[in-house]
Structure formats: structure tokens, C-alpha cells
Structure 1
Amino acid sequence: MIAVLADSACDLPKAVLDQYKIYTIPMSIIYKDKEYLDQVTITPQEVYDKMPTEVPTTSLPDREYGLNVLKQIEDEGYTDVLVVTISNVLSGTPNAIRILSEEYPSMRFHFFDTKTLGVPEGVVVREAAKLVSKGLPINTVLKQLEEIRTRIKGYILVDTLEYLIKGGRLSKTAGAVGTVLNLKPIVSHNEEGKLYTHAKPRGKKQSRKQLKEILEEHLKQSSCEVWVLHAASKPEADEFLESIKDLGGITEIHSYQIGAAMGVHTGPQTIGVVVFNSK
């Protein structure tokens, strides 16, 4: 029996985690005076609500909580654990889980790097759970995930550069120039698992237009399952969803919240789109 385990950066709603029986280990959300467990003792919305006064940092999973999750998996009779994680380049979380796994020699652990984070990571996690539910051998699952990973792409439209600067993802100098120019960068991930600036539109209207054009380019290549993302910005995300929902080639469309792992860097009022291209 194979269990599927992910970190909380995957941003999958509880209903999806339950539907596919996906176990998760939460990342830590750290404030000056208190530490929280992502999606367990603090919600993404609570993180966004606190941002005007303090921007937290994300850190490695809590050891005790992680060991308890692995104990639960062992107690339920699993022999293998497929660990599908945030990009190794972006976080030490995969290595932290690897260290925890050494405490459970009774189970075989198999690690898969999604080379991304947030909902794009979550789509890989969901697909992993689907493959496992079919009873496929672990090596077959891992091989198919490599191909699936190439068909998933996420784009985050940042409303303000403030949080990228505070989080150290953008220099103060570059941030100052971008703010003056009213840049609304669209951030994505590359094949190495690193974040990069995909485009630098100016102003809200132009940036939304460009985000839609990026989606349209994907739909020209193949039909896609689509996710519209929001961070304390659901009305804006709903408006964007309305503008794209009738585009040809969309097989399914969802609205998901951006979790804390991505949100502490991009900030509130952020929207995004994730595409999963058909074969």
C-alpha cells in the first residue's frame, strides 16, 4: 500500500485532500512572538489579515507534528510513502521530511520534487494520488509524474512589490524603480524549480489583460484544466474568472486560495492562474 504525503505549500483545499486521501505536513509560519502551523493553527486569510502590521516568515515543518503524521501512516498499514514536495530549490522542507522519514525504517519512502510551489505543486500531488489509487507500481507512478510535471504551469500577478522586497525576493533598489513605474510583475517557475519574472506589465488593467493572454496562449496549444487563484482578493479573482470562463479549450475551472508559503512573498490582493495542459 502506498500513501501520498505532501507539505502544506501545495495549497489543496481540505475537500480535495480528503477526497484523494492525501496526508500533509504543515510548514511553520513564524512571527516575532509566536509560531504557527500552516493550515492547522493559522489560516491563509489570518496571515493576510496580519500582514499590514507584520509579515511572517515560513520555515521547516514542526518535527513533532511531522513524526505524528508518519506514525499515523505507519499505523494504517502503509508499506510505501510517496512524498510529493515543494521545489527543493525554494525550501528546505523536502530535506526536513527526508530526515523525519529516517525514524520510520519500516516504510519505504519515495521523494518527488514538483519543482514548483502552491497550487501547481498541488496539481502534481493530486495527480500522484490518482495514479496511486489505480494500483500502479511506485516506479510507474514516479515516471508518469515526471511527464505530468511538464504540463503544469502557474502564473502569479503581484499587486504590490512591497512583500517581495520585505521577503528578500527583490532588492529595495529594484523594488523602488518598479513601484515608480507601477509594475505588476507576473511571476512563474522554470524547469529548475526557481521563480522568475515572466512579464512586467504596468498598471492593473494591462496586467490582467496580459494574464488572460498567457492563458489564451496555453489554450492554443491544447485544452487545459484551469485554476484561478486569489490571496485576500476573491472579488478580483471572481471577476477574472468571469472574463475567461467561456474561452474555448477549458475543460474544468476552479477557484483556489493562495496559501501562506507563496502569499508571504506576494502579499494580499494577488491573483493568479494555473494551467494543466492535456496530453
Structure 2
Amino acid sequence: MIHFFYDADSEMSLAVAKEFGIDDPKYFIKMPYTISGELKYCDLITPELSTSFFKKVRAGEMPTTSALNAEEYKEIFEPAFREGGDILYVSFSSNMSATFNHMNIAVKELKEKYPTVTFTRIDSKAISMGTGLAVIAAAKMLKAGKSVDEIVKYMDELVPRINITIVADDLNYLKRGGRLTAIKALFGTMLQIKPIIKLTTAGTLIPTTNVTGRNKALMTMVNEIADRASEADDLPIIIMQGDCIAEANRVRDKLQSLLPKADIRLMDVGPVIGTHCGPGTIGICFIDGQRPEPVKD
């Protein structure tokens, strides 16, 4: 038996989770965030959850995220360890959070208690539906009866090809997350400069090209992805939107016109990622020949 876990930083929607048969709540790891002074745990994303979160943010609330502790990880994983078999966890990038230090402590203790159980974590080196694409791929392989070893081998090839490109609207959120300096955020805001953010081979996000004007930045992103993304891949292209549905629809329509055979889906940014990128964020998650290592301008 294979117990398949993934986490809320994948920003998997409830609808897509149901589509691929991965909506069992006991295998979904909710990640903590705080808003309006209340600690919450991010669930599978629904339009209602995303809308409610961004309504509070636009009203001036400043959310924060935090890490699960070792005891919380033990509570999540121990039922699967107790049942026995193989445990497979497709996670978001370990270079984006210290939470995996806590997870390692929990898993070490559980392995000592249940020595016959195998635990395998696949680091997607991604976030949001970049991780979600890896989760979908693993779910499809599990449904086809593939073993953990076969899935790991496939992921070794897939993960470097998972790409994310993001245009954020409010640079102050990137400043808070340490991805832009205060000076760059200030002058970028004054001059309407929108950095295009990309996922690196190390599994981190950094700003790359600077484009003046939001619409120009979005179209620059779309045109680049149209040149790089594969229409033939069996995984979809995912457009993530943070409370900017009209713009996201225009981005999707333009990208679909350039890639008419591609399966392009529109999904909502959730609270965990929305905390760091803010409202107005549009990101595109897709499969490319390889993941680039962007260099700062």
C-alpha cells in the first residue's frame, strides 16, 4: 500500500484534487497562516476561500505564514506509519521554508517506532501549482499502478522541467518576503516597474526581467511561455490568479491563441502564496525542456 501525501503550498484546488482522486483530507497537509490575528490552516483551494482571503488583504490585513512543528508532522504522518506500507510525499521546495527541518525530526522518530515503513519525500523544488503539477503527475502514476521507485525515477526527470513565471502587482509584498530590497520596491512602484519572477534550479524564486507597465509585463510573460511551453505534454499549463480574474482571463485567452492545442487551466492563488505575492498576482506554471537558472539584472 502507498500512502500519498502532498501539501497546501501546492495550492491544489478542491475541484482538481477530486478530478485526480487526491482529495482525501487525511493525506493533505494543511499549512499554517495568520490573518486578522487568527491562526488558520490552508485547505484545498476553493474560489470562496481565495476571495475571502484577498478581501481581507485588500482591506488592509497583513497576513503571515509559519511552519508546522515536529509534533504536528507526527500527528499527520503517524496514522500512515501505523497502517504500514510505503509513504510518498511530494512537497514544495525545501529551499523556501524551514518546515522540513521539523518534518525530518518527526519522520526520524516515526521510523524508529515503525522500522518496516518506508518514507520517501520528493522535493518538487517548486511552489504553488508548480508543485501541483508534480502532484498530479505522481497521482496519475499511482493510479496506473506504478511503484514508488518508478515515480521517483520519473520525478528526477520531471522536476527540472517544472517552471513558474510570475508577475506581481504590489511590490511591497515581495519586499516583505525578502525578494526585493526596500529601495527597489519603492522605485519600482514609483516607476510602475514590474519584475518578472522565475523559479530557479535551486527551487527559489527571484526577480529577473524588469518591465515597465503591468500589461506589458503580462504580455512579455505570455509570449515567452508560448515560445517555451510544450503543447504536447500530458500535464496542463496552469494560470494562477490572485483576485484579478478579468486580467487572468485575458492572459489565458492570449496564451490559448498562441498554444491552441494546450490544456490551459485557470486556478486561484490561496492564502499561503497570496501572503507573499499579494493581490493582483498572476503566475503561470508549465513544463519546459529545462528549468533555467535566472540571473538578476
TM-score under structure 2 normalisation?
0.84
**Which of 38, 52, 56 lines up with 1:50 in the alignment?**
56
Query: How big is each residue's C-alpha offset from its partner over 1:86-143, in whole Å with a ceiling of 9 and x where there is no partner?
Result: 1111112333333333453333210111111111011111111222222223222111
Q: Which residue of 2 aligns with 1:227?
A: 238
- Structure 2 distance, partners of 1:168, 1:198, is 15
Shift of 1:27: 1.1
Q: Which residue of 2 aligns with 1:174?
A: 184
Aligned residue runs from structure 1 range 81-160, under 5 A: 81-105=87-111, 106=114, 107-160=117-170
Q: Which is worse superposed, 232-241 or 15-24?
A: 15-24
Maintained 8 Å contact 2:244/2:281: yes
- Structure 1 distance, partners of 2:284, 2:78, is 36
Aligned residue runs from structure 1 range 142-221, under 5 A: 142-219=152-229
- Structure 1 distance, partners of 2:258, 2:216, is 19
- 2:13 pairs with 1:2: no
Shift of 1:16: 2.7
Query: How big is each residue's C-alpha offset from its partner over 1:2-21, in whole Å with a ceiling of 9 and x where there is no partner?
Result: 12111210011123323333
Q: Which residue of 1 aligns with 2:68?
A: 61
- Structure 1 distance, partners of 2:70, 2:126, is 23
- Structure 2 distance, partners of 1:174, 1:204, is 16
- Structure 1 distance, partners of 2:44, 2:89, is 19
Gaps of 5+ in 1: none
Maintained 8 Å contact 1:222/1:277: no
* Structure with the bigger percentage of helix: 2
Gaps of 5+ in 2: 291-297
- Structure 1 distance, partners of 2:99, 2:139, is 20
Aligned-residue CA RMSD in angstroms?
2.5
Maintained 8 Å contact 1:86/1:94: no
Query: How big is each residue's C-alpha offset from its partner over 1:43-97, in whole Å with a ceiling of 9 and x where there is no partner?
Result: 333332222422211111266654443244356x451111111111111233333
Aligned-partner residue type, residue 4 of structure 1? F
- Structure 2 distance, partners of 1:278, 1:166, is 32
**3-state SS, counterpart of residue 214 of structure 1:** helix
TM-score under structure 1 normalisation?
0.89
- Structure 2 distance, partners of 1:119, 1:251, is 16
Q: Which residue of 1 aligns with 2:262?
A: 251
**Which of 3, 10, 25 lines up with 2:29 in the alignment?**
25
Shift of 1:226: 1.3
Aligned length: 277
- Structure 2 distance, partners of 1:250, 1:40, is 28
**Which of 226, 244, 248 lines up with 1:237 in the alignment?**
248
